[in-house]
């Protein structure tokens, strides 16, 4: 224990001795700037950050102080001062060069120069596709293009820049936007190919749009009359789902929706009521945080009722016991009169109307 304590003390002393000593004037100005900013005295914070930049000992601290001065002046509404500092940083090679370039485009847009501002924004995207703000900026640029020229304007832009940016962090986003815009333009076959290409080039677990690409691809397959193909894509999506060792799972946004769509395909396209009932029940079992759980039990009960009235009671009993706040809970006795009182609320009229077509088979 004595040796261990001595070693910790020695290392602490060494690390402290090696730590850079910041100039006192820089520290005082930095602390003053942070205090002014916290008090929403943004103009004073800008001045203090410039003082910190003047007294900084390293190029990194100097550029960071200038950037903080620029953001302070921007918050103060002193856009000319902010723009001058952003421009200075954008011309350099510091860590703040990329962010400053995007900020300059934003200032130009705020000044009312839409054409020039978006031209600067697009140039920043091509220059700094790996910036932390590039993805948001690209969505903003897509919206600008769509407002001026519709989906085709976005498609034309993606076609121009994707070859250059495909290997960048924007590559997947560009490919997804191409597929989505083709889909919105009712070019379903081309959209399907684009979605599948996206899923193949950016697979699970790294592809950010992988699950959405397969989900939307399944929708394209269904619209093209290929129900089995849609089923295969949804199955591919769900087969990749991982369950965590401790609790929960590595959820993707589309998992529960895909499981529900799978059940609907069995019911509506393949007319396999047994498989549909099983698939609806798996939504309830496998996705404990999904808002679709009560919908799934309700649809399972309706399918069961069409075959055997008493068979509807099992999923409905689960519904009223585990999901009593569901909109379907007050309607449970409409399908299973054997259930006791389950809710003081009235069954909504639109649900009752939907039940009118559910036949009442004999037990």
Between 9 and 343, the more confident residue is 343
Q: pLDDT at position 342, please? A: 75
Q: pLDDT at position 340, please? A: 78
Q: pLDDT at position 245, please? A: 44
Q: What is the pLDDT of residues 197-217, one digit of tens each?
A: 999 999 998 999 999 999 999
pLDDT tops 60 at residue 147: yes
Domain boundaries, the chain: 254-363
Compute, in degrees rounded to 10, the torsion defined by CA atoms 274, 279, 280, 286: 150
> Which residues contact residue 195 at a Cβ distance below 8 angstroms, ignoring those fewer than 6 apart?
179, 183, 213, 214, 216, 217, 220
Q: pLDDT at position 148, please? A: 96
Angle at 325 (CA atoms; ends 319, 326), nearest 5 degrees: 55
Q: pLDDT at position 363, please? A: 47
Nearest to 32 by CA among 50, 20, 54: 50
Angle between helices 210-223 and 188-201 (to 10 degrees): 150
3-state DSSP assignment of residue 183: helix
Q: What is the pLDDT of residues 66-83, one digit of tens each?
A: 999 999 999 999 999 999
Q: pLDDT at position 221, please? A: 98
Integer CA distances (angstroms), 350 to 11, 331, 353, in order: 72, 11, 5
Nearest to 249 by CA among 299, 289, 282: 289
Q: pLDDT at position 1, please? A: 43
* Class of the domain covering 254-363: mainly alpha
Q: What is the pLDDT of residues 10-31, one digit of tens each?
A: 555 554 445 568 999 999 999 9
DSSP state of 226: -
pLDDT tops 60 at residue 93: yes
pLDDT tops 50 at residue 239: yes
Q: pLDDT at position 361, please? A: 60
User: Which pair of structure tokens corresponds to residue 239?
Assistant: 């087969």
CA distance 355 to 306: 11
Q: What is the pLDDT of residues 323-350, one digit of tens each?
A: 999 999 999 999 998 887 777 789 999 9
The phi and psi torsions of 243 (rounded to 5 degrees) equal -100, 130
Mean pLDDT of 296-300: 97
Confidence of residue 246 (pLDDT cuts 50, 70, 90): very low
Confidence of residue 247 (pLDDT cuts 50, 70, 90): very low
């Amino acid at each position: 224990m004595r040796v261990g304590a001595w070693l910790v003390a020695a290392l602490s002393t060494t690390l402290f001795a090696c730590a850079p000593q910041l100039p006192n004037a820089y520290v005082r100005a930095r602390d003053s700037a942070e205090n002014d900013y916290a008090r929403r005295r943004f103009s004073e914070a800008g001045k203090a950050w410039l003082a910190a930049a003047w007294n900084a000992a390293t190029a990194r601290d100097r550029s960071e102080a200038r950037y903080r001065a620029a953001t302070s002046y921007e918050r103060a509404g002193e856009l000319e001062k902010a723009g001058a500092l952003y421009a200075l940083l954008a011309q350099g090679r510091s860590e703040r060069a990329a962010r400053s370039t995007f900020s300059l485009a934003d200032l130009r847009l705020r000044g009312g120069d839409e054409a020039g501002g978006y031209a600067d924004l697009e140039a920043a995207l091509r220059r700094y596709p790996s910036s932390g703000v590039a993805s948001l900026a690209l969505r903003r640029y897509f919206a600008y293009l769509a407002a001026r020229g519709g989906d085709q304007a976005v498609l034309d832009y993606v076609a121009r820049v994707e070859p250059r940016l495909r290997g960048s962090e924007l590559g997947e986003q560009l490919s997804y936007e191409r597929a989505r815009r083709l889909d919105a333009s009712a070019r379903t076959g081309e959209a399907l190919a684009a979605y599948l290409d996206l899923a193949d080039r950016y697979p699970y677990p790294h592809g950010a749009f992988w699950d959405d690409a397969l989900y939307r691809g399944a929708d394209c397959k269904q619209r093209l009359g290929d129900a089995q193909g849609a089923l295969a894509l949804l199955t591919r999506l769900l087969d990749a789902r991982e369950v965590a060792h401790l609790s929960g799972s590595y959820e993707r946004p589309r998992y529960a929706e895909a499981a529900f769509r799978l059940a609907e395909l069995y019911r509506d396209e393949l007319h396999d009521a047994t498989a549909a009932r099983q698939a609806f029940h798996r939504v309830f079992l496998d996705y404990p945080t999904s808002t679709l759980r009560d919908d799934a039990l309700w649809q399972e009960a309706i399918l069961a009722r069409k075959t055997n009235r008493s068979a509807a009671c099992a999923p409905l009993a689960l519904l009223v016991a585990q999901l009593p706040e569901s909109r379907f809970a007050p309607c449970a006795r409409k399908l299973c009169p054997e259930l006791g009182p389950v809710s003081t609320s009235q069954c909504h009229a639109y649900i009752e109307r939907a039940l009118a077509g559910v036949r009442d088979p004999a037990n």
